[in-house]
Every structure is written in C-alpha cells, then in structure tokens.
Amino acid sequence: MAWFLILFPLLAAVLAFFVRSVRFRVRLLPVVGLVHLAAVGFALRAWRTLPANAWVGLDALGGWTLLVIAVLFCVCAWYAPGYLALRPERDNRTFVTSFLCFLGLASLLTQARHPGLVWVAMETTTLATAPLIYFNHNRRSLEATWKYLIIGSVGIALALLGTLFVAYAAHMGGLQEPLSFSRLTAGAALLSPPWLRAGFVLTLVGYGTKMGLAPLHTWKPDAYGESPGVIGALLAGGVTSCAFLALLRIYAIVAAAGELQFARELMVGMGLLSMLWAAVFMVRQLDIRRLLAYSSVEHMGILAFGIGIGGRAARFALFHLAANALVKGVLFMSAGNINRSYASKRLPYVTGAIRRCPVSGWLFFLGFLAITGTPPFAPFISEFNIAATALTRPYLWTGVAFLVLLGGIFVAMSDTVVQVVFGTPPPDRARTPYRDTLATTAPLLVALALSATLGLWLPQSLAGMIQSAATQVEGQK
Amino acid sequence: MLTDLLIALIVLTNFTLVATSRISKAIQVAVIQGVLLGLLPLAMGLGRHLHIVLMVAAAITVKGWLIPFLFRRAMTKVRITREVDPYIGYTASLVLCALGTGLALLLASNLPLAPGSAFKLFVPASLSTLLTGFILLITRRKALTQVVGYLVLENGIYLFGLMLVEEMPMLVETGILLDLFVGIFVMGIVINHITVAFDSMDTSHLAELKD
C-alpha cells in the first residue's frame, strides 16, 4: 500500500507526459486525486502498526500530513480542469505532469522513515514544482521561477548538511545505519549534543526556507504572485506542509535527546518574526496574490510558534496544518478567478468583485474571514487554542505578542480585501469573458465547507491521530 | 596522506574559483573539484567495499561527465563568456574566501570529532567549500556562474558526507546525486529561457518583482 501511494501518481505522471490527448490528460487529474485520497484513507487504518525498521510507511505524523495534502490535492485537481479550459493557449502537459509528480513525491516524503530519504523527496518536490511557476511563460514568471529554484535549492542544500550533522551525531553515539526515525528517537540520548544542535539549526534554516519562514521567505511573494491561483494553492498548502513535516521529524529527534528547550526557543522566535514580517508587508499591499503570499508566511509562523509553545499548542499547530491548507486553497483559487475576471490582480483595478463574479467574491471574503480566525472556521479553533496555551506559559509576553500580531494582520489584510470585494467596479475596466461556473467554484465551496466542519467537529479517530502525532513531535515514545 | 593532499587541492580549487573571470574556466575548476571529491573515498582506502566503488563511479560520472555536458550545452547558446562586473571584485572575493576558510577552521574546532577519527581536515575543508559556493552565488551576476556556485556548495556538503560514506545507505547517496543532476538540468533549462527572454543571462535583469 505504501508503495502504491507513491508509484500510482508517478506512473500517472509518466502517462500524462507521453499521452497526446489534451482532454485525457486533464481528466487524469481528478481521477488520480480521488483514487489517491481513497488509498490514503485505506492506508491510514494501519498507522498504529508501522514496523520499526521499515523504509517507508505511515505513522501518525506522516499520515496526518499526507491526509491534509491528499485532500488539498483533490480540491486543486477538481478545480484544475475548469481553469485549464480557460487557458487553452497554454500547453497543459507540463502542468499535469508536475502536479502528479508532486503528489507522488509528497507521498514519498510523508512516508519516508529515513532522514536522507526525506531530504531527497523534498529536493525533488522543489524541482518538480518549479515548472509550474513558469506556467505563464512571461518575464515576470521567469524571474519568480529562477528565485524559487536558486533560493529553494540553496536552502535545501543546507538542510542536507543539517541532516548529515544529525547522522554524524548518531555516528558518534554509536548508532548503526540505516538511521530510521524510530531508531534515532529511541537512541536519541546517545547523540552528540553539539552536532545535533548545529544540525537542527541548519535544518531549521533549510526547511524553513522551503516553508517560507521569515527572513528566508523572499522567493515566496514572487512565486505565489506570478503563478496561477491553483498552483499557489498547491504550493502554499502542499509544499509548505511537506517542508514543515521534514522539519518536525528532526525536531522530534532533538526533543527526544532532551534539547527541547533550545529547539522551542528557536521555533517561537522564528514564528513571531515571520508573523511580524508578514504583518508589515501586508499593510497597503496592492497585489492580492502577494497579500496571500504574506498571509502564508504568517501561517507558517503560526505553525512554528505553536510547535515551539508545545503541549496543547503543538496539537493545535498540527490541526492548523489542515486548517491552513484548506482555507489557503479557497483563497488562492478564488483570487485566481477574480484575477481572470479583471485581467489584473492589483488594486485599484480589481474592486467590487462581489458584483462582477459574486461566487468567487464571496468565497474570497469568507476565506479571508476564515484565515484571520473568525469562528466557526477551523483556523479559529487552532489560533484560539495556541494563543490560550501561550498565555498560560511563563513567558506571557509571547502569547500577548501572538494575539497583537493576529489582530494587526486582520486589520492590514481587511483593508485590501474589503476594497477588492466590496468596492465599486471600475467603469473603464473592460470585462473579460470569465464568468463563475460550477467547475471553478464547486471545489472551493467543498473546501470551505470542510474547513467549517473541522471548526465545529473533529472525528474521534482523527483527534486520536493528531494527539499521537503531537506526542511524537515532542519526542515521547 | 594522500587524503590530506586531495583535500588541500580541493581547498586550492576554491581560491581559483573565486579569482577567475572566465565562466568556462570556473566550470572546469568546479568539475575538477568534483572529480577530486569523487576520488577521495579511494584515497581513504575504502576501495575494498563494492558499494563504495560503485558510488565513486557514479559520482565521477555525474560530476565529471554529465554535469559538464549540461554546462557546455548551456554555454553554446550564450555569447558572453566572462563574468563582467561582479557585485564584489575578484581581489575582494579572494579575501572573503580566505576569511571564510579561517572561519571554517574556527567553527570546525568547536565541533568534536569521533575519538580516533582520521578526518581532521574534512570538516573545515567542507565548510570552506560551502562558503566559497555562497560567495559565488551571492556576488556574481551571471546565472551560469550562480549555478557553478550551487555546484560548489553541494561539493562542500558532499565532502562532509564522505565522513559517513561507509555507513550511508546507497539509496540515499544515489538520490542525492540524482537530485544534483536533475537540479542543474532544470536550472539549465531556466537559464535557456532567461537568455531568450532577456537576450542575456545577467540576473540583474530579474529585478522586476518587488513590494
């Protein structure tokens, strides 16, 4: 089953690359997405019984992340045919192939039990998604692709060095290869502390670059801003989740080795810095897609912050992974629709979306409310609980800073969003033929509904899995 | 002894890299550095393990043959062969590289090695190569030179990895090499597009996107 999850999307990608029929290729996406999601659901039933020395397999942490990615992929895959139909001038071969490759590699990354294998999967994800950013084939997207490739590859190279440092720490402690995560966690007390600490700092910088934690996020606004909305959704919810998981795997080893305090301080610091940086750049941001990119920087900060606070907050940070992925999907794709309708993504050209394309306009507005923590959507639950836990900790000021930043971001973001959604449409701006259709809005409605459901009710089995994943992250077991 | 000599040569290639203005020469030096690194496990006396011999062969094929092939293909399409007007001049880059090597020695002295380890020079040389890669990436304008910088950075990490070469699973090593190759392949394609779009591969043209 583990290999099916990896190989099925990759084989579909090969098929998509070689098949000639454009229509067949487009239809492949939703089918593969659904079959993969069903297979993930099936594979997840076995997460408790993962053999300790397997090379690949689902545990609670990887399983939860893969579930989030598979659901988001499904939403994107059902949206993509409608979007690609609007862009008949662009060849969809690269698009579909890269999309499917990403799914296979994300399945590999979430199931890999060896830090080296995780690294290989993460680097390959970067390479597989780079062509997506160049989808528009213009100078601006070329610049974004180049930055994404170079900054991403350099960042991830540092993560490799960090991984090797951890392996050397294990070598000094006398642990034998292959270094599965189970073995590393079990023998964590033997690891050489200086190498482990240096290794964690390097992986934090490396995978933090891929996540887009400030100040390593500089590629992010460009990459998300210049690629189509559906690709932004996959990058902001999928690739970042992969990088976050890769970081958590190393974090768990550090925690098991009794260095939790050191790692926590770094995570809280990076988290708050990301939120602050995002807040500053959201003020008077005229480009709606760059606005969303900074929102993604903010939410990566929330994830890091929650993990750093630890305990209950770590559990809700993992929950936030799903909340962020779903709502970012809604936001990026509805922003993409609005963009299609106006042939621009900037104020003052894009105003009054609610009258030009009402469904997308509402979706964008509700997505904004959800992501900034309005009940009943899922981000409210996670943000509220992370803040509540932070306020009970000895360093009260971190919780206060977290709340102040959330408030500031709400104000900064609402300024732009309200103009985009409720302003008066510019009379001199020609209307493009784009109209909201079922194909370009129904998947978003499903994602928004899912996020509202998660905000009200979490199935018992999923809650148990998140609980178990959180203890894993904190280095217990 | 042979190991120390190879490592000294690798550090020397670092200095040559930051001091050269011809792009084709920088590529050549980076390739030589990669081949020297590839040979290192044999000098370490590990030639008796079959999987290490296979890794040596794979590393030399990728770094000494496939990657230079990609670079040559990219070079035929551009007319400019010199790194004109880098952000930081060649003398200053040399000084930076020397400072970087000093810093690498300092950092390495703070990290303990396994008792009785024969790898005293590996950590400082690896960090020094890594920093050289950074210098090239940050201070050069031409996209191709930046890719050379990325290759040198990866070489530095590879050198560190050699300390663990006896244990590292082959699956992981192969994956790392493959990623390096595919990475440079994809960067080559993007450079090709940049050259067509801007009629130059100067990355200072890529400055349209900002807040």
Range scoring the smallest mean pLDDT among A59-68, A139-148, A303-312, B69-78: B69-78
| pLDDT value of residue A40 | 96
| pLDDT value of residue B81 | 72
| pLDDT value of residue A426 | 82
- Cβ neighbours of A157 in B, within 8 Å: 150, 153-154, 157
- Residues contacting residue A37 through CB under 8 Å, at least 6 positions apart: A70, A71, A73, A74
| Arithmetic mean of pLDDT, A437-451 | 96
Q: Measure CB to CB from residue A120 to each of B111, B161, B172 and give the nearest one.
A: B172
The pLDDT mean for chain A works out to 94
User: What does the alpha-carbon distance between residue A290 and residue A295 come to, in Å, rounded to a whole number?
Assistant: 8
Question: If DSSP codes are grouped into helix, strand and coil, which group holds residue A251?
Answer: helix
**Shortest distance, CA B53 to any CA of chain A (angstroms):** 19
Range scoring the smallest mean pLDDT among A157-161, B167-171, B172-176: B167-171
Does some domain include residue B211? Answer: no
Residue A383 has pLDDT above 80, yes or no: yes
**Shortest distance, CA A79 to any CA of chain B (angstroms):** 27
Does some domain include residue B34? Answer: yes
Kindly report whether the peptide bond that precedes residue A215 is cis, defined as omega within 30 degrees of 0. yes
Report residue B2 as tokens: 């042979």
| pLDDT value of residue B47 | 83
| pLDDT value of residue A37 | 97
For residue A477, name the pLDDT band (cuts at 50, 70, 90).
Answer: low
| Arithmetic mean of pLDDT, B11-20 | 94
- % of chain A at pLDDT higher than 90: 86
| Arithmetic mean of pLDDT, B164-187 | 90
Which residue is closest to A55 within chain B, CA to CA?
Answer: B171
* pLDDT tens digits along A241-289: 999 999 999 999 999 999 999 999 999 999 999 999 999 999 999 999 9
In B81-121, which residue ranges form alpha helices assigned H by DSSP?
90-109
Q: What is the ipTM of this complex?
A: 0.95
- Residues contacting residue A407 through CB under 8 Å, at least 6 positions apart: none
Does some domain include residue B114? Answer: no
Residue A376 has pLDDT above 70, yes or no: yes
Q: What's the total number of domains in chain B?
A: 1
| pLDDT value of residue A448 | 97
- Cβ neighbours of A153 in B, within 8 Å: 150, 183, 187
| pLDDT value of residue B76 | 80
For residue A146, name the pLDDT band (cuts at 50, 70, 90).
Answer: very high
Residue with tokens 């090969």: A14
- % of chain B at pLDDT higher than 70: 99
- Cβ neighbours of A146 in B, within 8 Å: 143, 190, 194, 203, 206
Does some domain include residue B30? Answer: yes
For residue A126, give the nearest of B201, B159, B180, B188 by alpha carbon: B180
Which of A:200-259 have CB within 8 Å of B? Answer: 221-222, 225-226
CA distances (Å), origin B77, targets B70, B82, B184, B195: 12, 14, 16, 8
**A388 at interface of B, judged by CB pairs closer than 8 A:** no
For residue A419, give the nearest of A324, A286, A226 by alpha carbon: A286
| Arithmetic mean of pLDDT, B155-179 | 90
Does some domain include residue B152? Answer: yes
Residue A49 has pLDDT above 70, yes or no: yes
| Arithmetic mean of pLDDT, A172-188 | 88
Contact B197 A139 (CB under 8 A): yes
Residue with tokens 């930081």: B88
For residue B22, the enclosing domain spans 2-82+121-205
Name the percent of chain A in helix, strand, coil, to the closest 5.
Answer: 80, 0, 20
H or E element: which one contains A285? Answer: none
In A112-215, which residue ranges form alpha helices assigned H by DSSP?
115-133, 139-172, 181-186, 193-211
- For residue A376, count CB atoms less than 10 angstroms from its CB and return exposed for 0-12, middle for 13-18, buried for 19 or more: middle
For residue A402, give the nearest of A303, A312, A282, A294 by alpha carbon: A303
| Arithmetic mean of pLDDT, B146-167 | 93
For residue A451, the enclosing domain spans 2-473
Q: Measure CB to CB from residue B172 to each of A116, A147, A290 and give the nearest one.
A: A116
User: What does the alpha-carbon distance between residue B210 and residue A187 come to, in Å, rounded to a whole number?
Assistant: 47
CA distances (Å), origin A379, targets A61, A423, B185: 19, 26, 40
- Residues contacting residue A2 through CB under 8 Å, at least 6 positions apart: A43, A54, A56, A57, A58, A111
| pLDDT value of residue B171 | 85
* pLDDT tens digits along A356-373: 899 999 999 999 999 999
Which residue is closest to A116 within chain B, CA to CA?
Answer: B172
Are residues A457 and A378 in contact, defined by beta-carbon separation less than 8 angstroms? no
A458 Ramachandran zone, left/alpha/beta (phi>0; psi -120 to 50): beta
* pLDDT tens digits along A428-443: 777 788 889 999 999 9
Does some domain include residue B177? Answer: yes
Contact B190 A134 (CB under 8 A): yes
Are residues A425 and A349 in contact, defined by beta-carbon separation less than 8 angstroms? no
CA distances (Å), origin B92, targets B13, B28, B98: 17, 22, 10
* pLDDT tens digits along A296-339: 999 999 999 999 999 999 999 999 999 999 999 999 999 999 99
Single-letter amino acid, residue A474: E
The Cα diameter of chain A in Å comes to: 72
Q: What's the total number of domains in chain A?
A: 1
- Cβ neighbours of B172 in A, within 8 Å: 114, 116-117, 119-120
Contact A147 B206 (CB under 8 A): yes
- % of chain A at pLDDT higher than 70: 100
